[in-house]
Amino acid sequence: MRIDMVSEHASPLAGPGGPDSGGQNVHVAELSRALGALGHEITVWTRRDDPALPPEVPYAPGVTVRHLDAGPPTPLPKDRLVPHVPQMAAELERAWAAQRPDLVHGHFWMSGLAAVTAAGRVDVPVVQTFHALGAVKRRHQRGEDTSPAGRVAAEQAVGRRADRVIATCSDEAFELARLGVRRSRVSVVPCGVDTDTFRTSGPTLRRRDGVRRIVSVGRLVRRKGVDETVSALARVPGTELLIAGGPAGGAAMDDDPDIARLRAVAAAAGVADRVRFLGAVPRSRVAPLLRSADAVVCVPWYEPFGMVPLEAMACARPVVASAVGGLTDTVVDDVTGLLVPPRHPERLAGALRHLLGSPVLMQAFGVAGRDRAESCYRWSRIAESTVGVYERALADRRPAAASDVVSAVAR
């Protein structure tokens, strides 16, 4: 199949860790790579945010990244990209009229808007993955939600116009039904993990003797729950916390408002000497960091999926995660880790003390986590499941055979 993906703000060429760069970048990169390995021809369309970027970049066997002109060629927060969606749709329509793909896969709601608009004009089926839903974001962030006012309505329109919608977890499938998307057109296909990169053996970040270590990886925005992790550390003695995320390092870290906020939380909790800020960690160094941990903590207020717990499980590290969204699918409570309520540092601290106090439990969780990652979440398996959704979308568009029509009339 010739599959064109649209990922307007999350290029597979950009590493995770920035304000608008995270799991979607990894998802699009790894899924496209795995689909290419299956023999499909993949083009990933993403917005040009630098005038020096070439029109297209070979990314992996069978995968090409192409840059769309939509708005000024400079970095823009994703919440400011809505006015440029019509230009994006027009660019896609021109490209698809000249070379029609078999199917289009939109990633995130603005990509979905551009995809269903352009694909509808050239009669190409669309599969949509939202990665996050505006209604859920508004429910949890309330006044802090910076999404454009029309986001929820746009997601409803995209969900109803797409031929198929992929939810990354069972909770998201329920939320899509609340938006009015027919359940028969929703398939749950989770994110995956590279079990060759994230493995039990390999380089490990150096440890200090006699000091237990917990690790947090990801964006540092308030809703990711890193504040609660820092606060919980006050009730977990003899333990250090390594936080990976934010700017690359140096003076940029001193000027970063998220790091300033977290340093203030650490000082107020009396744990500033036990918290280390690593800044943005290159993708190649994430696995060694995770392998160095006694436990990996991921306690967002809400989470459509959450890749870090899965990567930790693949490294055979136990996970303490909040019982929200996709985390309740991937982390099996008291089997691969522990689930706690979000925004409850006391409960988080209690779970960490319980886990870190039992080496046998940590090892058992680690072994079970690795087994679950390998058996359920390898990217090759996720790609095969995604192809199944593509095939159903294409089948929905094919005219029924004459015999099928006759049989339907006879019934």
Q: Three-state secondary structure along 310-338?
A: HHHHHCCCCEEEECCCCHHHHCCECCCEE
Q: Are residues 63 and 115 in the same domain?
A: yes
Is 115 within a domain? yes
Range of the domain at 278: 212-376
Tens-place pLDDT, residues 289-342? 999 999 999 999 988 888 999 999 999 999 999 999 999 999 999 999 999 999
One domain, residues 342 and 385: no
One domain for residues 227 and 240:
yes
**Do residue 364 and residue 385 come from a single domain?**
no
The whole-angstrom separation of Cα 118 and Cα 91 is 8
201 assigned to some structural domain: no
The Cβ of residue 307 has, within 10 Å, a number of other Cβ atoms equal to 27
Q: What average pLDDT score do residues 45-72 get?
A: 96
CB 75 within 8 A of CB 104: no
Whether residues 252 and 343 share a domain: the answer is yes
Count the domains in the chain.
2
The model's pLDDT over 263-272, given as tens digits with 9 standing for 90+, comes to 999 999 999 9
Please tell me whether residues 244 and 352 are part of one structural domain.
Answer: yes
Q: Residues, the chain, total?
A: 411
Residues 59 and 119 in one domain: yes
The answer to whether the Cα torsion of 109, 115, 117, 120 is positive or negative is: negative
Cα 237 to Cα 212, 214, 227, 271, 351, distances in angstroms: 9, 12, 17, 10, 13
CATH of the domain at 164: 3.40.50.2000
For residues 364 and 390, membership in a common domain is answered with no
User: Is pLDDT above 60 for 148?
Assistant: yes
Domain identity same for 254 and 391: no
In the structure encoding, which two tokens stand for residue 326, read together? 């996709």
Q: How far apart are CA 219 and CA 364, in angstroms?
A: 29
145 vs 377, more confident: 377
233 and 239 in contact (C-beta within 8 Å)? yes
- Average pLDDT (153-176) is 95
Residue 363 lies in a domain: yes
Cβ burial, residue 126 (10 Å; 0-12/13-18/19+): buried
Residue 295 located in a structural domain? yes
Residues 120, 250: one domain? no
| Amino acid identity at 155 | E
Q: What is the pLDDT of residue 398?
A: 72
Q: Is residue 409 part of a domain?
A: no
Q: Tokens 């070379």 belong to which residue?
A: 99
CA angle (150, 155, 161) in 5-degree steps: 125
**Per the domain annotation, does 407 fall within a domain?**
no
Q: How far apart are CA 272 and CA 295, in angstroms?
A: 19
How distant, in Å, are the alpha carbons of 17, 18, 44, 70, 396 from that of 14?
Answer: 9, 9, 13, 18, 35
pLDDT in tens, 184-202: 999 999 999 999 999 999 9
Enter the tokens of residue 123. 């009669």
Verify that 372 and 234 share a domain, yes or no. Answer: yes
Tell me whether residue 256 is in a domain: yes
Residue at 347 is within a domain: yes
Residues 168 and 231 in one domain: no
Q: Which of 308, 314, 321 is nearest to 355 (CA)?
A: 321
